[in-house]
Amino acid sequence: MELLARAAREGRTLEIAELLEAVPYCAWLGLKGRVDGDSVVLEMPFEQKLIGNPILPAIHGGVIGSLLETAAIVQTIWTTKATRFPKPVDITIDYLRSGRAVTSYAGARLARQGRRVVSVHAQMWQDDENKPIAALRGHFLLAE
């Protein structure tokens, strides 16, 4: 994405909001981000369009997966100062409980960083960060 390369050329750190607004799906989800120490925390306000099971109601599994993958990618960009978007090599998502119709949060950490590949762990929660509703483990290829 040109946005990352331009920020690097200008010698500035890319704002999380600027990055999220540049990705149409993130804008559609209404994602907001903040930096908490060395970590990026994403916030996804609840909207009716996110419902996958109207009987419960529960957030669609694809939305949950998207939020987790986005958290992993944004954390990778933030930590590595990447000038290109990392490419997913493999991702595993564990769905632990239903995503209720409330605001959701996601954060990630780099478990291991090599020259070309990073291993990332992410989790999504709602009311209590210690009670995740889903978790991601994945590997992402850094641009050369």
Check residue 11 and give its pLDDT: 82
Q: Do strands 51-53 and 104-113 pair parallel, antiparallel, or not at all (unpaired)?
A: unpaired
Q: How far is CA 43 from CA 13, 83, 118, in A?
A: 20, 24, 23
Domains of the chain, first to last: 2-141 (3.10.129.10)
pLDDT tens digit string along 30-70? Answer: 999 999 999 999 999 999 999 998 998 999 999 999 999 99
Residue 9's SS3 state is: helix
* Residue 101 structure tokens: 């119709």
User: In the predicted model, is pLDDT for residue 1 greater than 80?
Assistant: no
pLDDT band at 137 (very low <50, low <70, confident <90, very high): very high
Asked if residues 116 and 90 have their Cβ atoms less than 8 Å apart, the reply is no
* Residue 89 structure tokens: 């090599």
What's the rounded Cα separation, in Å, for the pair 64 and 62?
5
What's the rounded Cα separation, in Å, for the pair 22 and 27?
8
Q: How far is CA 134 from CA 21, 29, 53, in A?
A: 24, 17, 16
pTM, to two decimals = 0.93
